[in-house]
Amino acid sequence: MSRGDDAPGDTLTTQRIDKWLWFARLTKTRTLAADLVVRGKVRLNRVRVEKPSQTVRVEDVLTVVLNRRVRLLKVLGLGVRRGPAVAARALYEELTAAADPLKPLAQSSLQLPSWQETGVGPGRRMPGSGRPTKKERREIDRMGGKSR
């Protein structure tokens, strides 16, 4: 009789959803996975999951909201331990359209332009924005007649 626990001799047929999210490396800790479920950010076969103890089976479809992105995942296997990322990736199939995996779906219109659009490289800033650098302060002092 398999309850979904991770006993070494059992073949798993079900697993707690918080444990699966942690094994699949969608969250850093099992506590964060449970919190994700409690906050209503996980759906199992289109039904909102309210308890971290909800069981998940192979072939189930999960809808998970992470970092303002909606991810649709098909469960391919149940984890036995939290292994490397390659093993974790084998537990699910991504059903979400892979337009740009780093770009959140809901972007703010108030977001600053990226450095490619502005022509200012990383580690630099646009002229006239923020505090002056040490070099710019020296130039300001020279224009004002002060010398250091």
In tens, the pLDDT along 26-78 reads 999 999 999 999 999 999 999 999 999 999 999 999 999 998 899 999 999 99
Does residue 83 belong to any structural domain of this protein? yes
Query: Residue 78 sits in which domain range?
Result: 15-94
The values of phi and psi at residue 139, to 5°, are -65, -40
In tens, the pLDDT along 103-126 reads 554 554 455 556 556 666 666 666
The answer to whether residues 33 and 18 touch, using CB atoms and an 8 Å cutoff, is yes
| Bigger pLDDT: 70 vs 144 | 70
Total structural domains within the chain = 1
The residue count for the chain: 148
Does residue 72 belong to any structural domain of this protein? yes
Q: Which amino acid is at 56?
A: V
The answer to whether residues 4 and 55 touch, using CB atoms and an 8 Å cutoff, is yes
CATH number at residue 62: 3.10.290.10
